[in-house]
């Protein structure tokens, strides 16, 4: 086995004929850490100094060219050389520099390629400037070179969306000069370099490219992007700065433009949004690494059964079908089965109507869907997901049937949102095969999948659930069994805090607005109206008997439901929806109901600022998040963050509630909770974990080590 010296550079170079082959080898994705930056600069220095070198070829080892700056370095003290300087060094080289791209050339990776003089890409390459997704802008010349090379409009669309372009598209856009015929990146790159040398190809610098020559056209593209961005990028900091940088590319000489870009980049780097978005980036990768995924091998999943063809069952069926797996749907009678199938078809018909799917593709997918009214049709299923009515007796009856018909080793999953999965598992002969797969509605769209781990489940079943999530392109979060698991348990608490605020004097419309202004797409009362007020009402009635009689209970929502106002589907709820409108308008009658309820409860209403509303709302969310971690329902604070980000619309640029708590300071959150507790000590009980962390002077991040 070859051994490398301990401090070997991740960038090596060797002479191949007249070409200096420079290889970046920094697993896992060749990120541009300090050593790589140093290595690249040194390689260019070597090329300049060595007469035998006539051209330089930069390639990446492994599966990618270069995936960008090393995100882990952000927020750490900077180490020279800075990437913009390295890119300038590459561009200034007096010998032709060629970038040969396979896999990811993203962010700083693409900026290195843009600084090179010629670019080749092979099939499978992904090129993009995704910095905006991390709260940043391309900060190594990308905002200056890309518009000069491919024009303002295309460059802006790449930088503002952060999307990846294929090799083919990049070629069409002029981002690369050549498409490799094979996927042998080394052979393709060397051949291209030889060809350029043979043709005496000159050094050709992107800084001199002329795609901005038509100033009127470029200015129009910038103006359009600015208007669109101001409208769309609610609360985000970096998108408008990207537009400013492209304006600078149009207005300023190249070197001044670079200085302007650097200044904007550093401002983004310092922003809490960057910290939140980078946290989200790592957290969503970290959640995949549950202990069982390391200790056990997943079982093979080739056929899936779904029980129930209602909204949830059909959505799950679509998610599984979209992953290319066959689905057998079980319903109690032919009519229900037909309805279930119709629910599935409706999803694809919607896509066809929007032009996003061809009818042939629908037919192909539906060929994998079969249905039956007999559980016996599940005899060969590797995995069965139950999505029937939320009632313990009904669920246990389903599991008894599964126990009877399923083959040994089949994974038996329940999509329950609240019920005790330990009790479901214990009711059959094979509790080790039972797991919770909690999808969020609409199940084919929402990214979150809570993987609920009951006591007796075997590790390979949990590993299988994580593998399934990967196949379904969901973001899995491991959760323990409790009422509501991670997400709905926390939701219940911050929703209650909102109800208290409403009864104490804030209107539902003010609360919704404050929550939207914080960055959520919708406020809690808009969500109720969208989902249907009757759902929560049924749960409240079911739980009335077990509710703590001492706990404060706000009855406003009940009064609204008693009138048959269930939200959008009935034309009114907390809001009015005249003639099927999708956005509601405030309802004076609801305000009168609230007024009457305050009087009934003996409450003199007081005014809350939006900030005061959000402090309570967030304190409730954070405190219950801490409880969930404390009780080991969530493995780490970051699992709570990912749950809220992907299942509840928490603004990604704030990183999640636990990251947000660290940002405002846990001591401040605890002080707020203690203050609120003076009014309602039963509801506002500080989580023991929060108290402990404040005492130790630590934050939630300190608990985010790998599970
Ligand atoms: C930038 O470039 C700024 C510049 O403009 C200016 C500078 C002055 N750094 O996703 P995966 C890790 S901003 C450090 O699971 P895949 C990742 O955490 C950057 N680490 O693999 C994971 O680690 P672990 C712009 C990174 O095959 C492992 O690599 N670039 C970085 O599904 C595998 O990742 C981007 O935003 C990084 N840049 O996808 C690109 N990237 O194994 C971000 C990844 O410990 N990266 N890691 O969990 C990606 O989009 C995907 O990782 C990629 C591979 C498509 C490359």
How do residues 35-68 score in pLDDT, each as one tens digit? 999 999 999 999 999 999 999 999 999 999 999 9
- CA proximity to 180, closest of 24, 52, 57, 68: 57
The whole-angstrom separation of Cα 174 and Cα 364 is: 36
Instruction: Tell me the CA–centroid distance for residue 458 and ligand 1, in Å.
Output: 32
Instruction: Tell me the CA–centroid distance for residue 9 and ligand 1, in Å.
Output: 20
Instruction: Tell me the CA–centroid distance for residue 103 and ligand 1, in Å.
Output: 12
Per DSSP bridges, beta strands 585-586 and 178-179 are: unpaired
Looking at ligand 1, which residue's alpha carbon is closest to its atom 4?
108
Q: Is ligand 1 within 6 A of the CB of residue 404?
A: no
Using pLDDT thresholds of 50, 70 and 90, give the confidence band for residue 1: very low
Asked whether residue 75 carries a pLDDT value surpassing 90, the answer given is: no
Using pLDDT thresholds of 50, 70 and 90, give the confidence band for residue 535: confident
DSSP 3-state of 38: helix
644, two tokens: 């809220």
Q: Is ligand 1 within 6 A of the CB of residue 313?
A: no
Using the atom order of ligand 1, give the atom closest to the CA of residue 83: 8
The CA-based angle 593-595-600, given to 5 degrees, is 90
Pocket-testing residue among 36, 37, 68, ligand 1, by greatest number of atoms within 8 A of Cβ: 68
92: left (phi over 0), alpha (psi -120 to 50) or beta: alpha
Instruction: Report the chain's mean pLDDT, rounded to a whole number.
Output: 96
Residue 453 β-bridge partners: 480
CA 684, distance to chain mean position in Å, is: 31
The whole-angstrom separation of Cα 163 and Cα 128 is: 6
Give residue-wise pLDDT tens across range 613-668. 999 999 999 999 999 999 999 999 999 999 999 999 999 999 999 999 999 999 99
Per DSSP bridges, beta strands 575-576 and 585-586 are: antiparallel
The whole-angstrom separation of Cα 65 and Cα 100 is: 8
Using the atom order of ligand 1, give the atom closest to the CA of residue 133: 36
Query: Which are the contacts of 391, defined by CB distance < 8 A and separation ≥ 6?
Result: none
Give residue-wise pLDDT tens across range 463-488. 999 999 999 999 999 999 998 999 99
DSSP 3-state of 475: strand
Instruction: Tell me the CA–centroid distance for residue 488 and ligand 1, in Å.
Output: 31
Using alpha carbons, list the distances in angstroms from residue 117 to 45, 185, 527.
16, 17, 52
**Beta-strand runs (E) in 259-398:** 304-307, 327-330, 369-372, 383-386
Structural domains of the chain, with CATH: 11-270 (3.90.226.10), 300-484 (3.40.50.720), 488-703 (1.10.1040.50)
The half-sphere exposure of 97 on its side-chain side, counting CA atoms within 13 A, is 28
């Amino acid at each position: 086995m070859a051994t490398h010296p301990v401090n070997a550079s991740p960038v090596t170079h060797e002479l191949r004929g007249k070409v200096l082959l420079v290889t970046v080898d920094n697993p896992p994705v060749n990120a541009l850490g300090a050593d790589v930056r140093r290595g690249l600069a040194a390689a260019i220095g070597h090329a300049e100094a060595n007469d035998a070198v006539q051209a330089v070829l930069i390639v990446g080892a492994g599966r990618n060219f270069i995936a960008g700056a090393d995100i882990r370095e952000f927020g750490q003290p900077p180490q020279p050389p800075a990437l913009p300087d390295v890119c300038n060094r590459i561009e200034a080289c007096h010998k032709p520099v060629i970038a040969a791209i396979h896999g990811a050339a993203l962010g700083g990776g693409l900026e290195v390629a843009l600084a090179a003089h010629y670019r080749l890409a092979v099939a499978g390459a992904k090129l993009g400037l995704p910095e905006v997704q991390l709260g940043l802008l391309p900060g190594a010349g990308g905002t200056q070179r890309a518009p000069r090379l491919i024009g303002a409009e295309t460059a802006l669309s790449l930088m503002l969306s952060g999307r990846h372009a294929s090799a083919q598209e990049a070629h069409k856009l002029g981002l690369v000069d050549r498409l490799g015929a094979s996927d042998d990146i080394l052979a393709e790159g060397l051949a291209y370099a030889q060809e350029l040398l043979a043709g005496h190809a000159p050094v050709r610098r992107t800084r001199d490219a002329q795609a901005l020559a038509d100033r009127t056209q470029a200015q129009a593209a910038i103006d359009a992007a600015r208007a669109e961005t101001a409208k769309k990028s609610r609360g985000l900091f970096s998108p408008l700065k990207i537009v400013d940088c492209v304006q600078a590319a149009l207005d300023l000489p190249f070197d001044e433009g670079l200085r302007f870009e650097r200044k904007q980049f550093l401002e983004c780097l310092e922003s809490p949004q960057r910290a939140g978005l980078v946290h989200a980036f790592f957290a969503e990768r970290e959640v995949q690494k549950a202990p069982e995924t390391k200790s056990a091998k997943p079982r093979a999943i080739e056929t899936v059964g779904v029980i129930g063809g209602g909204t949830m069952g059909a959505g799950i069926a679509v998610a599984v079908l979209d992953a290319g797996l066959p689905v057998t749907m079980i319903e109690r009678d032919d009519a229900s089965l037909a309805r279930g199938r119709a629910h599935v078809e409706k999803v694809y018909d919607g896509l066809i109507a929007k032009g996003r799917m061809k009818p042939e593709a629908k037919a192909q997918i539906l060929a994998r869907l079969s249905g039956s009214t007999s559980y016996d049709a599940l005899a060969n299923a590797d995995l069965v997901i139950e999505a029937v009515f939320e009632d313990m007796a009904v669920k246990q009856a389903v599991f008894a049937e599964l126990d009877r018909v399923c083959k040994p080793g089949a994974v038996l999953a329940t999509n329950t949102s609240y019920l005790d999965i330990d009790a479901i598992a214990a009711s059959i002969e094979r509790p080790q095969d039972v797991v919770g797969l909690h999808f969020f509605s609409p199940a084919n769209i929402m990214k979150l999948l809570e993987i609920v781990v009951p006591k007796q489940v075997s590790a390979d079943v949990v590993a299988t659930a994580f593998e399934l999530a990967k196949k379904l392109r969901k973001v899995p979060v491991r959760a323990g069994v409790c009422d509501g698991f991670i997400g709905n348990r926390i939701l219940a608490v911050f929703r209650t805090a909102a109800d208290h605020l409403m009864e104490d004097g804030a209107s539902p419309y003010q609360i919704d607005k404050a929550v939207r202004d914080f960055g959520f797409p919708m406020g809690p009362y808009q969500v109720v109206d969208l989902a249907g007020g009757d759902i929560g009402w049924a749960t409240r009635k079911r739980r009335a008997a077990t509710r703590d009689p001492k706990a404060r209970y706000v009855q406003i929502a009940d009064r609204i439901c008693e009138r048959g106002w269930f939200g959008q589907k009935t034309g009114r709820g907390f809001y009015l929806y005249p003639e099927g409108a999708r956005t509601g308008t405030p309802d004076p009658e609801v305000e009168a109901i609230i007024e009457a309820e305050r009087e009934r409860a003996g409450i003199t209403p007081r005014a809350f600022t939006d900030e005061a509303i959000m402090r309570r709302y967030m304190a409730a969310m954070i405190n219950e998040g801490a409880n969930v971690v404390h009780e080991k329902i969530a493995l780490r604070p970051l699992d709570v963050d990912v749950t809220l980000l992907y299942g509840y619309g928490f603004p990604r640029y704030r990183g999640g509630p636990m990251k947000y708590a660290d940002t405002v300071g846990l001591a401040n959150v605890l002080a707020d909770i203690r203050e609120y507790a003076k009014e309602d000590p039963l509801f506002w009980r500080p989580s023991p974990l929060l108290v402990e962390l404040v005492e130790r002077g630590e934050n939630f991040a300190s608990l985010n080590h790998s599970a």
